[in-house]
Every structure is written in structure tokens, then in C-alpha cells.
Structure 1
């Protein structure tokens, strides 16, 4: 036991306390375990694969348990989990009969004394070997060796942001044997599950199954599957509500009268708002996704619609201004000097046509002059746009209705196309 005490490791003292307690309760003599260790390791070579027939591979059975999902970076596709991995294999050179050693059926041995497989995480962000830092393993009397290891794993995950922000991600933790070929060391089976106390408030995690051995360029590989479903939270709703508001405002912008003078400014502001929102959403969507998120595709469609609405609004307001100018020219007010001339001519004409002041009595002549003045005043105060209102107003309003119909048709068609594309990509 001297080589154990030389290691400054608390596990050594825990091990000694366990042995002492076990001896006190069962009456086993520590000298028996010393004799067992001497018999096992006196001629043991830890560099040789522990198989009686060297043509047979060492079969490794693994169990992966998920304790916590620390973080999931969907933008860069990095999954950080806290897991424990248990490796079990049989050493055909290390076995004994418990009846010959006071019924000792298992012992703790230093991991440096026995042969260990080199198992790594294939899809780790940084090269990560499993169990190389473990100081002790459990050795059973039938030659079964158990290595238990807990570590924080940083693995790559292929992101599919097609349904973002209502997406589901399927990630894998790849466990493979390094250096040895599959005919020397093979991971026969991998059981994986999540711990009973596992909780996560951002993702629903489904992890349970059995992974079989696969070929990885002549080496053994197995994988654990983790299905992550994003939970709907307040930030998800805050992301979706502006999209619906932008859609409604983009369609109904043509219902604003052109006379208000705010139609073009509203369309331009709405277009710029959608572009800014699209840029912000793009920052939050995964960069290495296999397909474009439907939300991004929809916002691109909405930005196109808003740009079309802005152009249509400019055209509508231009038509309105041109008609306004044309109407003003047709009903241009008469200058004061022309009014005087016309009034003088009309007065003279009316005077000539009216009965002579010498040939009529004062009552008749006064009424004739009053009638002429009333008729002239009525002509001067006649509305300027009566002659053209019935032609001018319906023209730009009809143009506005056309743009409104085109906008509604465009957005409905875009939604149908996006839904069909989503269904097609989901199936294939």
C-alpha cells in the first residue's frame, strides 16, 4: 500500500477507511487483500490487451448519463453538457475465486496497474479523452473492470433552424475508440439516458436509448442521441408579434388617404423598421444551419412587400399631385385686373341691354342693376373644382385599391408557398 499512500489523493484515505470498516464488520483480514493483489499483479502486464485469444477484440460496454444541460449555443452549434460515462470490460487475466480470499469479490485498484481502452469524444470541440485522469477503477472477481468518469462535454451539434423559433434539434455525442482498430477494441453497446433529477427551463430534453457499434474508418464508434425541443417563452412571443403587426400595417397602408400627406413617410418608416428587425433576427438565428429559418424567409418576403408598397405609395401620391396641378390650372382664379375688365364689360353690356334710365322709372332700373350684380357675384364665388371632382378623385383612389388588392394577394400567396415549402422540407 506504500505506492498508494505516496499519492496525495483524498480517495486513498477514503479507500483505507472503507477497507478498515469492511474488515471490522466482516472479520476479513487486510493481509488477505494484500495477498490477492500480489497474486494478481505479480506477473501482470498492463500493456497487453486482456484477451486470452489475441485475435478476439476487447468488448466494451458503456453507459452515458446526462446530469445537466449547461448551455446550447445554437448560433455556433456547440452543446455543453455535464455527463457521466461508465465503461465496463472484462480482463481475462485478472480473476480469482472469492472463497480462497475470505470472500473478497471486488477491489479498488489503481488505473495505472491495468489495461485501459483509449476512449475519446469524437465530435468534441477540443480533443477530449475519457477516463485518463481517473486514479482508480473497480475490479470484480470475474475479471469485470468498471471505470466511472464524470466530465463536462463540449460537443458540436448540427443545427436545423428551419422551424426557428419553434425548432427541434437532434444532437449526438459520439464515443469512439482511438488508436485501436475495431478488431482489437470495440464498443459493443452504449446505453444513454438522462438523470431523474435533470431539469432545464429552456429546452425539453429527450434522451434515452441504446446505441450500437458503428464503423468509423476501421475504428469502433457509437453515439448517444439527444433530442432538444425549444420551449415557448415570453421572448419567443415577443419575437413573433412584431411580424404580425408589420404584415397588417404593410397591407393597410393604402387605406390612408393621399390628402393626409403622411402616406409616403409611413411606408418608408415601415420599410426601414422591417429591415432593422430582419437584421436583428438574423443575428439570433444559427449560422451553420442546413436550411434557412422560415421566420427569416417570411421577413424577407415582408420586406419585399413593404418595398413594393413604398413604390406604389409614391406612384399614387405622384398621380394625386399631377391631378391636383391639372385641376388648379383648369379652375385658375381670375386676376383682379381681369375681374375689373370683365365686370366693366358686363356692366356696360347689361346697361346697354337694360332700359334707359330716362325711359324707365327708378324702381324698375334699380331692380335690373341689382340682378346683374348678383349674377356677377355668383359667377365669381362659384366652386373651383366642381367641374373636375368627378374625374379627379376616383382615379387615384382606384389606383390605391389596386395596390391594396395586389398586396393582399402577394402576402397570402407568400404564406401558402412558405407553408408548402416547410411541409416539403420536413418530409424530405
Structure 2
């Protein structure tokens, strides 16, 4: 019976204490609201500072939560951040009271849970935070879901709103798809000058502890500063992101490189096949399609233009020139044999053939000279003389050059010319990309 009585009294004591604590919490909240609505006039729009000649110091830190997207075409960045703001609210002193005696939570033995209040947004003063360079319009920070915590013992207010930043950002696609983008955006307390409100921070970078990685971009650098511009204290955030290029390298650069190789191979295609013009035109149209795909991913501005666009245009010009030369070469190949080949072309082809083919052919003919057994017994000077005569007879043979021979030689020249030219442009394109 005694045990039951003890349990009953204990429960009643706990219930009384809980009710008392809850009543004290409501009383502190009502007291705070009375300070802000003294004389039926709301003071939530005025900075709660007892000495108005000194600016309100607002401590700030920023958490980077997620990078949703960077759109280089529209020049915008989409990310989520968390603003951590804190300041000392002197509304109690403004009403002539002391924090140490104004609230019940300052009493000795008060639980920690009752030493602070969650105050709905808009009930007490908070900075009117605005994202200055928003993409569509100036974005106001805050809302009913982001409550303010008021410390009843120190009058310290902390506010941690989450912000969806959709801000403008000028893209630099010079080294696309190995590009690096730096975006900056500015927050300020709208309507307050630096003599009224001053942001301060003890950090130089963003907090990335809660950051969720992005599949296309990685954060390489970030910074935060609190300058004073045009008599207003601002929060400036800078973030540098690097593109992950593997996807774009496989889907854009690799097809271009394959087309570059195929583009010059048209000169190895036999003229008799009748597929040369069709092959070269197909390569040219493929470059046009790839260029359109790349331009759709680029901003509609002429400064700067991506190196990959310059490279694709150069390769497209090579392909167009390739097609024109194929047409001229086929016209040359099908000329009648009765048409005379120009002397300059004859000289070049004879020079090339003399250096390569004729020497081997003459050597074979000299080896075929029949030597009788009786010639072995003759004097050496006579045999040498006979051999010299035979060689001179062979050298007198004329090499017949046709338009088909000229077309074959032109194929070799054009192949190596296009090969060297395309390799040069490719190296000039790749070196800047891998040097960043």
C-alpha cells in the first residue's frame, strides 16, 4: 500500500513539475512578444539595438548542401545552401529591462530545454535577406518553416534558413568539355546600410560536411567574404566547379577523331569503285551534324568560343576541301589518254619514278643480259664495254606517263598532305586542353 502511495505521489509531482515548466515557457514567450509589441506597436521591423549609433553585428557561415545543375546555355547555376546567421537581440534592453531578470529561464536549475525558445518567422526581428543576382527576380530568404531560436539567457538569436539559389553565372566554355566555371552570388539585408547592420564571418570557405556530390560537376574551390559595397554590408559567395569530362569525351571527341581518320582515307579508295564522292560527302555531312550538336550545348555568344568548335569547323573545312579535290582527281583520272599531260606533271612523275621504280627495273634488265661462255675468256675491258652499251640502251627507254599515273601520284600527295594537316590541327587542339 505504501509503495502504491509513493508511486502515485511521484507521478503527481512529475505532472505538476511538467505543467509548471510548460507554463514558465509560455510565460517567457509572452514576455518576449510583449517586448516586441509594447504599446500596441510592433517593433519587429526595427533593429533591436540599444545603442543605435553602433551597427548590429550579424555572424554568418554558409553550408553547401547540393549542386543541382549548371546550365552553360542559359548561364545559370542551381544549388542549395544553408545560411547560418546569429546576432544579439537587445529588445529587452530597449524596453529598460535586463535579460538576467526578464525571463524565468534564467533561474538556477532551469533545464537546458527551457533556456531557449523557437519563435515563428516574422514574430521578431530578422535580417531581410535577399539574393541580389537571382536569375529571375530578387529572391527573399525565409519563410514560416524556418523558425528562429531565441536564447533566453544571452538573448542570442540563431537562424538557419535553407536557400534555393537559382543565380546567373557567366559561362566560360573555352576548354569545353574540360572547362572550369566560377560563379559568384551576393546576399544582403535589403534596406539596411552598413552603419545599421554589419555581416561578420570567421570562415573563409563554405562548409561541405553535408554536401551531396554531383555526377557532372565537382567542387574544386569556394570562398566566402563579407565586403561593404555602396554603403551596404554584403555576403559574397564564390564557387568554382570543374566538369567531369569522361562522358563528353566519349560522346563528342571520340566520334570527331574517328571521322578525322576516315576523312583522309578516301584517297586510298580505288577510283574504279565509284564510291569516293559519296564517301567524302558523307564525312562532310557528319562533321556538320556533330558541329550542330556541339553548338546546341554552347551559349549563344561569340565570346568566348570553345576550342572544340574551332577544331570541328577546321575539320569540316578539311572535309569540304577533300570533297572538292576528290572531284578534280576523278576528272583527271578519266581524261582520255590522247590528252597531253602538262610538262610540270610529267617532270615530277618521272622524277619520282626514276628515284623508285626505274632503278630496280633497269637492274632487273641488266641481270637478264645473256653472257656466253666464250665471253668469259675475252679481255676484261671488252666485257666492260659491252655491259656499258647494254646499260645505255636500257636508259634510253622512255617512260610513258598517262593521266591515270598522274591521278595515282596525286592521291599519294593529297593523302600525306591531309594526314599532316589534320595531325597538326589535332595537336594544336589537344595541347591547350591538357595544359589547364
Q: TM-score, normalised by structure 1?
A: 0.70
Indicate whether 1:121 and 2:131 are aligned: yes
Partner of 1:82: 80
Indicate whether 1:261 and 2:259 are aligned: no
Distance across 2 between alignment mates of 1:65 and 1:151:
10
Deviation at 1:32, TM superposition (A): 3.1
Deviation at 1:162, TM superposition (A): 1.8
Distance across 2 between alignment mates of 1:146 and 1:245:
59
Partner of 1:138: 149
The structure that has the greater radius of gyration is: 1
Task: Summarize deviations over 1:343-402 as a string: whole Å, max 9, x none.
Answer: xxxxxxxxxxxxxxxxxxxxxxxxxxxxxxxxxxxxxxxxxxxx9853433322222223
Distance across 2 between alignment mates of 1:423 and 1:202:
19
8 Å CA contact retained: 2:54, 2:195: yes
Deviation at 1:320, TM superposition (A): 1.6
Distance across 1 between alignment mates of 2:146 and 2:213:
30
Partner of 1:187: 199
Could you say what the CA RMSD is over the residues aligned between the two structures, in angstroms? 3.3
Partner of 2:120: 110
Indicate whether 1:291 and 2:304 are aligned: yes
Partner of 2:174: 162
Question: 1:292 and 1:31, CA in 2 relative to 1: closer, same or farther beyond 3 A?
Answer: same
Alignment of 1:3-42 (within 5 A): 29-42=21-34
Runs ≥4 residues deviating over 6 A: 22-27
Task: Summarize deviations over 1:307-347 as a string: whole Å, max 9, x none.
Answer: 111121122112222254638xxxxxxxxxxxxxxxxxxxx
Question: 1:320 and 1:393, CA in 2 relative to 1: closer, same or farther beyond 3 A?
Answer: closer
Question: 1:84 and 1:28, CA in 2 relative to 1: closer, same or farther beyond 3 A?
Answer: farther
8 Å CA contact retained: 1:271, 1:307: yes
Question: 1:166 and 1:423, CA in 2 relative to 1: closer, same or farther beyond 3 A?
Answer: closer
Distance across 1 between alignment mates of 2:252 and 2:312:
12
8 Å CA contact retained: 1:177, 1:186: no
Partner secondary structure for residue 322 of structure 2: helix
Distance across 2 between alignment mates of 1:263 and 1:320:
13
Task: Summarize deviations over 1:128-183 as a string: whole Å, max 9, x none.
Answer: 11114456311112221111212432122221112222222222342222221222
Give the length in aligned residue pairs.
Answer: 346
Distance across 2 between alignment mates of 1:60 and 1:37:
23
Alignment of 1:306-325 (within 5 A): 306-324=319-337
Which of residues 43, 53, 56 is equivalent to 2:54? 56
Which of residues 165, 187, 205 is equivalent to 1:175? 187
Partner secondary structure for residue 172 of structure 2: coil
Distance across 2 between alignment mates of 1:187 and 1:389:
91
Indicate whether 1:270 and 2:273 are aligned: no
Which of residues 281, 289, 293 is equivalent to 1:280? 293
Partner of 1:96: 99
8 Å CA contact retained: 2:82, 2:162: yes
Partner secondary structure for residue 194 of structure 1: coil
Distance across 1 between alignment mates of 2:119 and 2:282:
73
8 Å CA contact retained: 2:308, 2:429: no
Task: Summarize deviations over 1:221-243 as a string: whole Å, max 9, x none.
Answer: 22223332222444541222211
Distance across 1 between alignment mates of 2:16 and 2:209:
35
8 Å CA contact retained: 2:121, 2:142: no
Which of residues 144, 148, 153 is equivalent to 2:165? 153
Partner secondary structure for residue 108 of structure 1: strand
Distance across 1 between alignment mates of 2:23 and 2:336:
112
Question: 1:235 and 1:421, CA in 2 relative to 1: closer, same or farther beyond 3 A?
Answer: closer
Question: 1:396 and 1:107, CA in 2 relative to 1: closer, same or farther beyond 3 A?
Answer: same
Deviation at 1:39, TM superposition (A): 4.5
- Consecutive unaligned residues in structure 1, runs of 5 or more: 1-21, 328-386
Distance across 1 between alignment mates of 2:320 and 2:146:
66
8 Å CA contact retained: 1:80, 1:154: yes
